[in-house]
Amino acid sequence: MVVKIIDGKQIAEEIKKEVSAAVRDLQSKHGIVPGLAAVLVGDNPASQVYVNMKRKAFDKAGMFSQTVNLEASATREELHETIDRLNTDARIHGILVQLPIPEHLDEFDILKQIKPEKDVDGLHPENIARLAHGREGFIPCTPYGVQELLVRSGVEIAGTRAVIVGRSNLVGRPMAQLLLQKGARGDATVCVCHSRTRNLAAVCREADILIVAMGRANFITADMVKPGAVVIDVGINRVEDPTHPRGYRLVGDVDFEKVKAVAGAITPVPGGVGPMTIAMLLRNTLVAAQQALSKRCPGS
Ligand SMILES: NC(=O)c1ccc[n+]([C@@H]2O[C@H](COP(=O)([O-])OP(=O)(O)OC[C@H]3O[C@@H](n4cnc5c(N)ncnc54)[C@H](OP(=O)(O)O)[C@@H]3O)[C@@H](O)[C@H]2O)c1
């Protein structure tokens, strides 16, 4: 079977170009530059890398971005004050708090402080509820990116059996909600697995579309995949590799080399879901700016 390698990098570039064109339009017609504020608490190296990648992507798209750095010891009140300030800053259309945050802070309590109309990561309870109700709202960027990747790769979602491995608030749960929605971008029969799922391999083998977000390097093996299935690997894991200049390399949750011999289509890591996450963040921030404009000037 000839496997199709789904090129997330290329599809993300297409989306970024579309966003850049809309940004230029917004700026030339209305003098508005969509802006993002990323709040970074502490000095987690992986979070710093992600925030820098986002900043570069925003610069390239002609959008404004700002990073607000807070000490790892920042209090709930300091974080709330920072978010309140960004909520009223007219240059900022989107706010994200880079996760994870230090353990003394309550993620839910911090995220609900962001105005829902600036919640471009789609993690505010109002946006979560909107997604669950099938209403418009901001959708978390990674699952949104996976859905876009499927649609733009020509994968039929409606009527298929989709299995999602992982039930995190960031990926697994919103992914399930998206694929359950009515319409051609959804209408799947969805099953969500987690660490207590019995006979995971058998459940995975039922999937026409298998989406894996576990954080376990190379966990999904060829015998867990139905021949011809579409396999989307969300995982990003560091594995030691002395031959690599950094001493490690990135791999997904899927044993790519083995699974590609069985799957009908598969995403690589890196170059699959990762670039889509950033592209969808750009798009969500653009939409936030467009919505702020139409609220201020109806009919614009
Ligand atoms: N590409 C991107 O842009 C992007 C974005 C976000 C995350 N990621 C990556 O995606 C992966 C998952 O991220 P996350 O934030 O969703 O992680 P997470 O919060 O740690 O959730 C992992 C999920 O996997 C489940 N799981 C773990 N081991 C399992 C096992 N042996 N069998 C079945 N289920 C198992 C867990 O089950 P329980 O709930 O029972 O514990 C949990 O639901 C990570 O590698 C992360 O780096 C990538």
What was the pLDDT predicted at 300?
74
> Cα(215) to centroid of ligand 1, in Å?
4
- Whether 230 shows a pLDDT value over 90: the answer reads yes
Residue nearest atom 30 in ligand 1 by C-alpha distance? 195
Q: Is 241:249 a contact under the CB 8 Å cutoff?
A: yes
Q: Are residues 177 and 52 in the same domain?
A: no
Q: Looking at the domain assignment, is residue 62 inside a domain?
A: yes
Q: Looking at the domain assignment, is residue 283 inside a domain?
A: no
Q: Which of 61, 83, 116 is the last residue in one of the domains?
A: 116
| Structural domain harbouring 72 | 30-116
Q: How many domains does the chain have?
A: 2
Relative orientation angle of helices 8-30 and 45-60, to the nearest 10 degrees: 60
pTM of the model: 0.97
Band (pLDDT 50/70/90 cuts) for residue 215 is very high
CATH of the domain at 245: 3.40.50.720
Q: Is the CB of 165 under 6 A from ligand 1?
A: yes
Q: Are residues 145 and 264 in the same domain?
A: yes
Each residue's pLDDT tens digit, 44-86: 999 999 999 999 999 999 999 999 999 999 999 999 999 999 9
Q: Is 147:209 a contact under the CB 8 Å cutoff?
A: no
What was the pLDDT predicted at 297?
86
Each residue's pLDDT tens digit, 132-188: 999 999 999 999 999 999 999 999 999 999 999 999 999 999 999 999 999 999 999
Q: Is the CB of 217 under 6 A from ligand 1?
A: no
Q: How many CB atoms lie within 10 A of CB 13?
A: 13
Q: Are residues 173 and 107 in the same domain?
A: no
Distance from CA of residue 284 to its chain's centroid?
Answer: 11
Q: Are residues 162 and 103 in the same domain?
A: no
Q: Looking at the domain assignment, is residue 86 inside a domain?
A: yes
Per cent of the chain over pLDDT 90 is 97
**Distance (Å, rounded) from C-alpha 153 to C-alpha 171?**
20
Q: Looking at the domain assignment, is residue 299 inside a domain?
A: no
Each residue's pLDDT tens digit, 235-290: 999 999 999 999 999 999 999 999 999 999 999 999 999 999 999 999 999 999 99
- Choice between 144 and 299, residue whose per-residue pLDDT is larger: 144
Token pair 């299935």 in the structure block, residue: 229
Q: Is 83:110 a contact under the CB 8 Å cutoff?
A: yes
Q: Are residues 154 and 237 in the same domain?
A: yes
- Whether 109 shows a pLDDT value over 80: the answer reads yes
Q: Looking at the domain assignment, is residue 42 inside a domain?
A: yes
Q: Are residues 150 and 228 in the same domain?
A: yes
Q: Which of 116, 151, 172 is the last residue in one of the domains?
A: 116
Q: Looking at the domain assignment, is residue 7 inside a domain?
A: no
Catalytic residue among 119, 121, 208, 255: 121
**Distance (Å, rounded) from C-alpha 216 to C-alpha 253?**
5
What was the pLDDT predicted at 10?
98
Q: Looking at the domain assignment, is residue 297 inside a domain?
A: no
What was the pLDDT predicted at 32?
97
CA angle 168, 92, 175 (to 5 degrees): 20
**Distance (Å, rounded) from C-alpha 10 to C-alpha 149?**
10
Beta strands in the chain (DSSP E): 4-5, 35-41, 64-70, 94-97, 161-165, 189-193, 209-212, 230-233, 237-240, 248-251, 265-266
Band (pLDDT 50/70/90 cuts) for residue 299 is confident
Atom of ligand 1 at shortest range from CA of 215: 45
What was the pLDDT predicted at 1?
72
Q: Are residues 104 and 146 in the same domain?
A: no
Q: Looking at the domain assignment, is residue 164 inside a domain?
A: yes
Q: Are residues 73 and 175 in the same domain?
A: no
**Distance (Å, rounded) from C-alpha 42 to C-alpha 222?**
39
Relative orientation angle of helices 273-296 and 141-152, to the nearest 10 degrees: 110
